[in-house]
């Protein structure tokens, strides 16, 4: 099986947002990055499918030169090779542009299965995978919690709301967006890190003329919907004050 | 014209549909609104939707729409859009629209703005507020290259009871051609994994833990606090993904939705998927080391600090009396 996994590099969870002077985007200078968490689960699922069914896992990413770090990490965890659509503008690009860029670089590879995370922890559009499927001319299903390959087709378990699930049958090739928690992640071994250095990262260029589907005209720290009463002091004092207010003010204890 | 696409399952409207209608009424600024309901057989849903103050209700019935598949819904919605020619298409942001709305947008090559929490202005000049960076920032977004722009509206962001009623909307049948052989997903019946042994919806108080708890051993601390408070223990998704607490104790869009008298969020940053499951709670307490964590946006009481110091202090305080 020839499996593609699309991964994105996003700011770490600990990152404190800082805005540019125009307040239309973040200040990228002082960010530390990591692999988008749902994409890490997609990668793990791809590696497990390869262990079961053979074949290769190809990591695909669209972004500036900095995304090589997460590509190398994916290779160290066990992916076989990578495709990198490299352009500075891709760091802030929307889902349409990323999907078109990936589709152009991936279409001649004829993958049997394409996996992505269900959404990114940065812009969070939740669209890239499905748009990519449409551009590749293959069916998609989203928010997947189990993948069973059965010859030239597969059965997948889709998560619904409120604890409900559903199995679907789909033909291959196809694209799935993977939900966090589908599996237990593995980490790179020293051997994997060494091996990754020799693996191929094929560069692809951004197709001309891609237009964004939406423009961010302003970015701000969200306004609070509630007047939060912040309780300060030492842990013991804060605990005492909180319990008092929960009893006397909120009558919640 | 604004087109709202209702969501129904087994002849029952998803309540979030009304929230999308409320959002459409705000966005329209007086321009006409049509609401469409899709399905194999939609029964009285057309009449139910006609109670809203809208110009028309479109009933699009086709056997291929049952059971739900993204291919059939994207095909149906693109046909509807072609005939109605709306400036905007509004949908609730649900697991179903997350599945087919991007496919629809890709197919008709129109912008899709997801998870919208606010609408600024009306008509063609409107911008849309949506969370980015896990809710740490709110973006104002302007769709490009419409019309139409497709908008999905976050659950709970608009009030269903704010829908202006009293319309005399005509209910019209719409013919849809869907080629069944073009539907590539073959779904089976939905099911629940295990009986929900714990119904957190009934709990008066909930102590909920997030990534800040750091390791499985520390869950005991949260459980001790829950006992001291007379609360049930619950968690955000990553904790259940790690197997530190069972899935049935997960709060959020993929877990349970709760509204207890007291909700204590312990080391939960407050990603939107979690907030939709608990923001209706009467009193919310947030304890987090990060003063900028989005959980504080919905909290009534907040303590910024180390939960490993504050939780034991709380237990001591509660056990005093």
CB contact under 8 A, B94 and A140: no
- In this prediction, residue B43 carries a pLDDT of 87
Q: CA angle, A130 as apex, B252 and A76 as ends, to 5°?
A: 80
- In this prediction, residue B195 carries a pLDDT of 61
Distance from CA of A8 to the nearest CA of B (A): 13
CATH classification (class only), B200-320: alpha beta
CB contact under 8 A, A13 and B134: yes
**Which pLDDT tens digit goes with each residue over A235-245?**
999 999 999 99
CB contact under 8 A, B314 and A126: no
Domain limits of chain B?
Answer: 2-182, 200-320
Bond into B67 cis (ω within 30): yes
**Residues of chain B contacting A34 with CB distance shorter than 8 Å:** none
β B191-192/B118-120 pair status: unpaired
**Among A112, A76, A41, which residue's Cα sits nearest to residue A201?**
A76
**Which pLDDT tens digit goes with each residue over A66-92?**
999 999 999 999 999 999 999 999 999
- In this prediction, residue B194 carries a pLDDT of 65
- In this prediction, residue B15 carries a pLDDT of 87
**What is the pLDDT averaged over residues A172-196?**
94
Give the one of B102, B135, B310 whose C-beta lies nearest to A127's C-beta. B102
Going by pLDDT thresholds of 50, 70 and 90, the confidence category of residue A4 is very high
**Residues of chain B contacting A214 with CB distance shorter than 8 Å:** 111, 113, 141-144
Same fold, B2-182 and B200-320: yes
pLDDT profile of chain B (321 residues), mean per 10: 94 92 95 96 93 95 96 97 96 96 98 96 95 94 94 91 88 94 96 74 93 96 96 95 90 88 96 89 96 93 97 95 70
Give the one of B112, B145, B304 whose C-beta lies nearest to A230's C-beta. B304
Give the one of B186, B257, B290 whose C-beta lies nearest to A168's C-beta. B186
**Which pLDDT tens digit goes with each residue over A6-18?**
999 999 988 989 9
**Cα–Cα distances in Å, from B310 out to B36, B193, B304?**
51, 36, 9
- In this prediction, residue B197 carries a pLDDT of 66
**Residues of chain A contacting B143 with CB distance shorter than 8 Å:** 213-214
Residue B9, strand partner residues = B12
- In this prediction, residue A86 carries a pLDDT of 98
Mean pLDDT of chain A: 95
The answer to whether residue A33 scores a pLDDT higher than 70 is: yes
Report the distance separating Cα A252 and Cα B206, nearest Å: 11
Report the distance separating Cα B39 and Cα B77, nearest Å: 11
**pTM of the predicted protein model:** 0.91
| Among A141-150, A155-164, B196-205, the least confident range | B196-205
**Among A150, A114, A147, which residue's Cα sits nearest to residue A131?**
A114
CATH classification (class only), A2-204: alpha beta
Report the distance separating Cα B229 and Cα B311, nearest Å: 11
CB contact under 8 A, B142 and A215: yes
The answer to whether residue A158 scores a pLDDT higher than 70 is: yes
Determine the residue among B94, B100, B141 to mutate to test chain A binding: the one whose Cβ has the most chain A Cβ atoms within 10 Å.
B141
Query: What is the dotted CATH code of the domain comprising B2-182?
Result: 3.40.50.620
């Amino acid at each position: 099986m020839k499996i593609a996994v699309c991964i994105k590099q996003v700011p770490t969870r600990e990152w404190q947002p800082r805005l540019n002077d125009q307040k239309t985007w973040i200040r990228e200078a002082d960010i530390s990055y990591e692999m988008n968490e749902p994409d890490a689960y997609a990668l793990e699922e791809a590696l497990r499918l390869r262990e079961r069914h053979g074949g290769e896992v190809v990591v695909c990413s669209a972004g500036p030169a900095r995304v090589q770090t997460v590509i190398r990490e994916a290779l160290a965890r066990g992916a076989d090779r990578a495709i990198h659509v490299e352009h500075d503008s891709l760091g802030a690009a929307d889902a349409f542009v990323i999907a078109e860029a990936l589709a152009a670089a991936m279409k001649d590879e004829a993958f049997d299965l394409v996996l992505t995370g269900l959404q990114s922890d940065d812009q969070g559009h939740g669209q890239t995978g499905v748009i990519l499927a449409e551009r590749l001319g293959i069916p998609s299903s989203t928010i997947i919690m189990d993948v069973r390959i059965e010859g030239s087709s597969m059965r997948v378990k889709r998560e619904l709301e409120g604890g409900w699930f559903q199995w679907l049958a789909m033909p291959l090739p196809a694209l799935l967006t993977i939900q966090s928690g589908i599996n237990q992640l593995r980490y790179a071994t020293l051997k994997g890190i060494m091996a990754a250095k020799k693996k191929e990262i094929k560069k692809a260029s951004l197709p001309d003329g891609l237009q964004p589907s939406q423009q961010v005209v302003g970015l701000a720290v969200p306004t609070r919907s509630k007047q939060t009463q912040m309780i300060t002091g030492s842990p013991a004092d804060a605990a005492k004050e909180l319990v008092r207010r929960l009893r006397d003010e909120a009558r919640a204890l | 014209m604004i087109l709202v696409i209702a969501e129904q399952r087994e002849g029952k409207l998803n309540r979030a549909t009304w929230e999308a209608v409320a959002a459409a009424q705000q966005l329209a600024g007086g321009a006409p609104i049509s609401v469409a309901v899709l399905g194999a057989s939609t029964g009285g849903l057309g009449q139910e939707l006609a109670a809203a103050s809208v110009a028309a209700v479109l009933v699009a019935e086709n056997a291929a729409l049952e059971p739900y598949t993204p291919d059939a819904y994207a095909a149906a919605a693109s046909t509807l859009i072609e005939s109605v020619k709306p400036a905007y298409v509004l949908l609730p942001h649900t697991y179903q629209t997350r599945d087919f709305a991007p496919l629809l947008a890709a197919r008709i090559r129109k912008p899709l703005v997801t998870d919208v929490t606010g609408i600024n202005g009306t008509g063609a000049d409107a911008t849309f507020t949506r969370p980015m960076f896990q809710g740490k920032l709110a973006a104002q977004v302007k769709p490009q290259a419409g019309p139409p722009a497709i908008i999905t509206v976050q659950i709970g962001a608009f009030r269903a009871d704010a829908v202006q009623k009293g319309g005399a909307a005509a209910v019209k049948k719409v013919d849809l051609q869907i080629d069944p052989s073009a539907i590539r997903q073959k779904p089976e019946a939905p099911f629940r994994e295990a009986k929900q042994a714990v119904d957190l919806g009934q709990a008066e108080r909930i102590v909920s833990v997030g990534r800040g708890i750091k390791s499985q051993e520390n869950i005991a601390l949260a459980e001790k606090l829950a006992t001291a408070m007379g609360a049930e223990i619950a968690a955000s998704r990553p904790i259940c993904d790690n197997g530190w607490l069972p899935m049935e104790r997960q709060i959020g869009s993929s877990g349970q939705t709760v509204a207890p008298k007291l909700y204590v969020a312990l080391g939960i940053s407050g990603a939107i998927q979690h907030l939709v499951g608990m923001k209706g709670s009467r009193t919310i307490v947030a304890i987090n080391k990060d003063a900028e964590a989005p959980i504080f946006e919905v909290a009534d009481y907040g303590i910024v600090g180390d939960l490993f110091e504050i939780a034991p202090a709380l237990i001591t305080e509660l056990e005093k009396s």
